Structure 1
């Protein structure tokens, strides 16, 4: 037997499957693309409709009342940097893409994490899948996404969601597994319903670890944005790619720092909102 016969080529098996999906499920993929494009376009239109200083002022006011003055100032400085760097539109495109991707990732990972914390067999079943998902290089996710959805923002956001789900799911499971058992027993002893125990005991107790999970999800999603620029997703990733291909160090550096500013904005607002909500729940309880 020749050694060539023993070589394993995943593409030999995956290519026919992708061709079958494109042939038989094209209307479904087109519908997904239409919905994703509509949502992204709507958020981007809302962000660029007003002048930059108007958006910065609105964010300052909203974050001030929702979180606190310190986080509001951090958010304002981050947005001001995006504007002064000359990358306002690209920053808003990236902000829209990452916000949608993180929101969908959390919607997928949060209930699955709760389910995995409740049932050991579910956790054991998804653990090897998560191991593989976190081991595979991030750009690999772009290949099947581009083959199915073509170039553009849709494959970028699909790959970003796939890349952002594992850390959020793992840490959600860990957060609920770490909730003190005596608190759960106290809730049951007082006759609280499972829903009340979840929202008034488990989630507030798990909030610190959930915040870490959300932080990881945001950071990994932003890391994917740079790679997504290679497939025509636009935003700051495209600016980084343009700076790299044209050897324009200034453009690449400005775009990279703008990505950092967006990361600080999203992390600060999400962290402050989660911690503030947890404190309110505890006080009301």
Structure 2
């Protein structure tokens, strides 16, 4: 079989393509890198200007407003516990990386999901790409990110965006497609345009499903924290990676627990945000 079908140099083609992009669009990638790095570091500096106790209270109030009193109490206690362990600044770095990644994933993913729900051809094109994005090992995303954006926080952001975007696109398409057909027919009978139907009926009814996609994107972005630390991304992931390489079990447990606390806070808040829109909160 090897003699009949010669092996095609796919790896060489990919390397050549990457080198061509770096050579011809290096300045573009440098600009994107500077922009993303400025956002992440700027947001960290901004949050770090606020005393930890004040910021923890603000996050707790936000959790109370969006979700429930129990989540607010857990948010306050959990964040103060992270500060007590001495990982407050690392937590801010990780939170900034996650928020930046998720915002970019939502800005790109939600419009693509809406477009895919309205255009069957676009959906047929998007679905195989999403399958590739979801099944490709996360470490593979870091390789081109390093070539394009060098070592640091930016490759972590880019890899997190690619890794966390598919749920947002898929669940946005699913939520809009699940809107009852009789409601769609009623809006068409009243002469609504496509934009009016989307903004007045389909998107509002699809909000719980879209928020589920947001929730999954946040969780996937958090799961990339430790992997992104391997290419220089700062934060709690860096602390976990350092603890693993130095066999510091206690430090690894503390930083891992801190990541879990942040994950629970973000998970519960986004879950309740989607359900609260439907009326009533969960106690």
> Is the TM value for this pair above 0.5?
yes
Q: What are the superposed Cα offsets for residues 60-110 of structure 1, whole Å, 9 maximum, x if unpaired?
A: 223333444333223223322321232111111010000010111011111
Greater mean deviation of Cα atoms: 35-44 or 269-278: 269-278
Secondary structure of 2:230 counterpart: helix
Q: What are the superposed Cα offsets for residues 162-181 of structure 1, whole Å, 9 maximum, x if unpaired?
A: 11111211111111111111
Q: CA deviation at 1:200?
A: 3.3
RMSD: 2.2
TM-score of the pair, normalised by structure 1: 0.91
**In 1, Cα distance between equivalents of 2:42 and 2:273:** 24
User: Is contact 2:226–2:237 with CA below 8 Å preserved after alignment?
Assistant: yes
Q: CA deviation at 1:207?
A: 2.2
Task: Give the helix-richer structure, 1 or 2.
Answer: 1
Q: Which runs of 5+ in 2 are unaligned?
A: none
Match of 1:105 in 2: 105
Q: Which runs of 5+ in 1 are unaligned?
A: 281-285
Q: Summarize the Cα distance change of 1:71–1:203 in structure 2 as closer, same or farther, 3 Å threshold.
A: farther
Match of 1:208 in 2: 208
**Aligned runs of 1:124-273 on 2, under 5 Å?**
124-273=124-273
User: Is contact 1:63–1:72 with CA below 8 Å preserved after alignment?
Assistant: yes
**In 2, Cα distance between equivalents of 1:223 and 1:3:** 43
Match of 2:45 in 1: 45
- What is the count of residue pairs matched by the alignment? 280
Q: What are the superposed Cα offsets for residues 236-260 of structure 1, whole Å, 9 maximum, x if unpaired?
A: 1101101100000111111111111
Secondary structure of 2:179 counterpart: coil
User: Is contact 1:60–1:75 with CA below 8 Å preserved after alignment?
Assistant: yes
Q: CA deviation at 1:3?
A: 5.5
Q: What are the superposed Cα offsets for residues 251-272 of structure 1, whole Å, 9 maximum, x if unpaired?
A: 1111111111111122222233
Secondary structure of 1:6 counterpart: coil
**In 2, Cα distance between equivalents of 1:272 and 1:12:** 48
User: Is contact 2:208–2:278 with CA below 8 Å preserved after alignment?
Assistant: no
